[in-house]
Amino acid sequence: MAIRIGICGAGGRMGRNLIAATLEHAELELAAALERPGSSLLGVDAGELAGQGRMDLTVTDDVEAALAGVDVLIDFTLPEATVANAAACAGAGVPMVIGTTGLDDEHKRQLREAATRIPVVHAANFSVGVNLTLRLLATAARALGDDFDVEVIEAHHRHKIDAPSGTALRMGEVLAHSLGRNLDECAIYGREGRTGERDSKTIGFETIRGGDVVGDHTVMFLGLGERMEITHRASSRMTFARGATRSAVWVRQQPPGIYDMEDVLGLRG
């Protein structure tokens, strides 16, 4: 029996890719497509919205009704909408897959609260390649240690509203942990003016926004006489969408709790 999927933000760039990824997955069935109240896309056929042909499933804003007919809800929207949907899913007993970025500490607390009742996969990036890159970064940071300066550079399309990207911040967390540092204390977000000599214990972040860049991330390890760079480039949002649908299959078998793509891919430990 197919796993019934609901998709929040169905009309967005990621939402349309999530619809396509769900329809191409042999184990999944698209059961609900959600948009915000007042959206001009309400009532539009979900299949046609994603360029997949008519499927007689219209976009709705009725979260409660949607949750009554789905097995997993996938949410790549905005923080405020995501935490509201998480509370609704917790009440309905529906597992979630969340790719929303820009969450603050209060948003994360609310997600943890929901995850005491349902399993939740929350990841800054659902690309298999990015999650393997995180493993490589941890290994490199431990091996190179404090002898190498570390800089994180990321680029995304002009429409992205948060910076640095959630993926860049996750890379920073992995690097800081591997180096025995606290990211809140050592992160430097951009430089301007007379900054003085670089503190060797800092981790720098640089953000680029423009065009239609799907997602580029480079971490530079800069030593004396040598430099190492680890780069991941995404060329299609379907990379993230397929990771999310893979997570949707996986999360149904889990007990309540917060998980990420390392858990889904079996990379933990």
User: What is the Cα–Cα distance from 17 to 251, expressed in whole angstroms?
Assistant: 20
Within a 10 A sphere around the Cβ of 269, how many other Cβ atoms? 4
157 noted as active-site residue:
no
Within a 10 A sphere around the Cβ of 144, how many other Cβ atoms? 18
Choice among 160, 177, 201, 232 that is catalytic: 160
156 noted as active-site residue:
yes
Choice among 25, 122, 156, 217 that is catalytic: 156
Query: Taking a C-beta distance cutoff of 8 angstroms, is the pair 8, 36 a contact?
Result: no
- Point out the residues that are catalytic: 156, 160
